[in-house]
């Protein structure tokens, strides 16, 4: 169970329900209240494909924050990190739910309308009927469109609104009682520019290569799984604060195909040049050209799973490949794990299970959190 110690510290009332660490049930605590929750993970323990089940009361409280929680599931590295994010969002939701029942003084509305007029209504994308939730739109210097959602409480402007953004890093505002929405907007613009190089790098990858996962990346997503060839890909994790540095790379595919790429990466690391783009650096270090969107179709290298005969399963794509060059059949991690578990001849060591490939009988291994 990955990060079980950290999870126990953050949520002592959320306990594992099985040995595989794929099911957790218990309570999440916020503002002194306990809320029942159940977390179900797939066999590969990928958080982005987790299912969250909760009581109708908690579901109602979090209703307006579903898109935020979905983003956090995509970007958090483990369950402990996500539970921290969930508790933070729940604290905000509870505070705003309580605020709905607090009558706002006339000064609240006059101050807010004045702030909106000074900021400019052309920057407003949405305002709810109660003037408690506002979405502001902005364009960065590269023409990318962004939104910031503001949840205002009854004590505005003495207390700052809660700010929700689609960023790969935390966005914290500096606030004084004399500040206004314009100050938040200016800080939002500054944060957009600080992330410009990161988004430039990710946009180049999205535009010039075939990205297998995530299928529709959000602005907060820091990973990309890029196709290299048939059943061969690389998963990169880019540091949004230092996008010009070598990202973490994990190669996926048969050993005979990915081992030469690992060797080239290790041998050429010293060639990394922060003055050129991340994509060009990857090409230079790996001594390859990534399949072009202009020349090849995704079907040229995105092959269906040899067990379920589908390409996408619960948001995942086949990333396990038979090591036999004459076979090379790809599988979903969950499908292969389930297949090997069902073989009478398979053997298991801790979370690693060994058994024959369903196509060529070569011994394969599968790990629930590989």
* Predicted pLDDT of residue 246: 95
Chain mean position to CA 210: 18
Query: Given strand 352-356, what is the order of strands in its sheet?
Result: 347-349, 352-356, 363-367
Distance CA 181, CA 44 (A): 44
- Whose tokens are 């499908």? That residue is 335
- No. of helices (H) and no. of strands (E), the chain: 10, 17
What distance in Å separates the CA atoms of residue 138 and residue 127, rounded to the nearest whole number?
15
Alpha-carbon distance 29 to 69, whole Å? 17
**In this structure, what token pair is assigned to residue 58?**
């908690």
Please tell me the distance from the alpha carbon of residue 1 to that of residue 45, in angstroms, as a whole number. 9
Query: Quick check: helix, strand or coil at residue 49?
Result: helix
* First vs last C-alpha separation in the chain: 12
The whole-number pLDDT of residue 50 equals 87
Q: Give me the helices (H) in the chain, please.
A: 4-10, 56-61, 66-75, 79-100, 106-119, 181-194, 196-208, 255-268, 278-286, 333-341
Give the bridge partners for 370, in sequence order. none
Q: Are 126 and 135 in contact (CB under 8 A)?
A: yes
Q: pTM higher than 0.75, yes or no?
A: no
- Six token digits for residue 81: 């990190």
| Residue 179 bridge partners (DSSP) | none
Check residue 363 and give its pLDDT: 66
The answer to whether the CB of 38 falls within 8 A of the CB of 52 is: yes
Residue 199, sorted as left (phi over 0), alpha (psi -120 to 50) or beta, turns out to be: alpha
Predicted pLDDT of residue 100: 59
Closest Cα to residue 305, out of 321, 326, 291?
A: 321
3-class secondary structure, 365: strand
CA-to-CA distance for 6 and 45, rounded, in angstroms?
16
pLDDT of 301 reads 67
Say how far residue 110 (Cα) sits from the centre of its chain.
39
* Local mean pLDDT, 10-residue blocks, the chain (370 residues): 64 84 87 87 83 85 85 84 88 76 82 94 92 93 95 88 91 92 96 97 94 87 90 91 94 85 94 95 94 68 79 78 79 85 80 81 62
């Amino acid at each position: 169970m990955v990060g079980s110690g950290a999870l126990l510290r953050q949520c002592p009332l959320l306990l594992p329900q099985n040995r595989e660490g794929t099911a957790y049930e218990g309570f999440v605590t916020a503002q002194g209240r306990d809320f029942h929750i159940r977390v179900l993970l797939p066999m590969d323990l990928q958080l982005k494909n987790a299912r969250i089940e909760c009581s109708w009361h908690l579901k109602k409280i979090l209703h307006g924050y579903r898109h935020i929680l979905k983003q956090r599931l995509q970007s958090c590295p483990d369950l402990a990190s996500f539970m921290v994010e969930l508790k933070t969002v729940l604290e905000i939701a509870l505070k705003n739910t309580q605020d709905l029942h607090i009558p706002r003084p006339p000064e609240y509305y006059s101050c807010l309308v004045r702030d909106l007029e000074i900021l400019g209504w052309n920057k407003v994308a949405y305002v709810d009927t109660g003037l408690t939730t506002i979405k502001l739109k902005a364009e960065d210097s590269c023409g990318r469109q962004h939104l910031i959602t503001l949840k205002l409480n009854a004590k505005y402007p003495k207390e700052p609104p809660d700010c929700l953004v689609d960023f790969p890093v935390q966005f914290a505002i500096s606030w004084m009682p004399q500040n206004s929405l314009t100050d938040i907007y200016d800080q939002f613009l500054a944060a957009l520019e600080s992330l410009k190089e990161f988004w430039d790098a990710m946009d180049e990858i999205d535009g010039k290569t075939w990205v297998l996962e995530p299928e529709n990346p959000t602005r907060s997503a820091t990973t990309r799984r890029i196709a290299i060839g048939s059943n061969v890909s690389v998963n990169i994790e880019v540091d949004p604060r230092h996008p010009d540095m070598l990202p973490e790379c994990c190669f996926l595919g048969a050993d005979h195909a990915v081992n030469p790429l690992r060797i080239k990466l290790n041998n050429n690391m010293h060639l990394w040049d922060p003055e050129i783009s991340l994509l060009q650096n990857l090409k230079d270090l790996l001594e390859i050209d990534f399949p072009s969107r202009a020349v090849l179709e995704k079907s040229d290298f995105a092959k269906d799973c040899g067990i379920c005969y589908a390409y996408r399963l619960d948001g995942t794509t086949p990333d396990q490949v038979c090591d036999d060059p004459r076979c090379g059949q790809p599988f979903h991690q969950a499908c292969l794990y389930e297949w090997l578990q069902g073989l009478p001849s398979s053997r298991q060591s801790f979370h690693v299970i060994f058994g024959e490939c369903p196509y060529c009988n070569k011994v394969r291994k599968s790990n629930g959190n590989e």
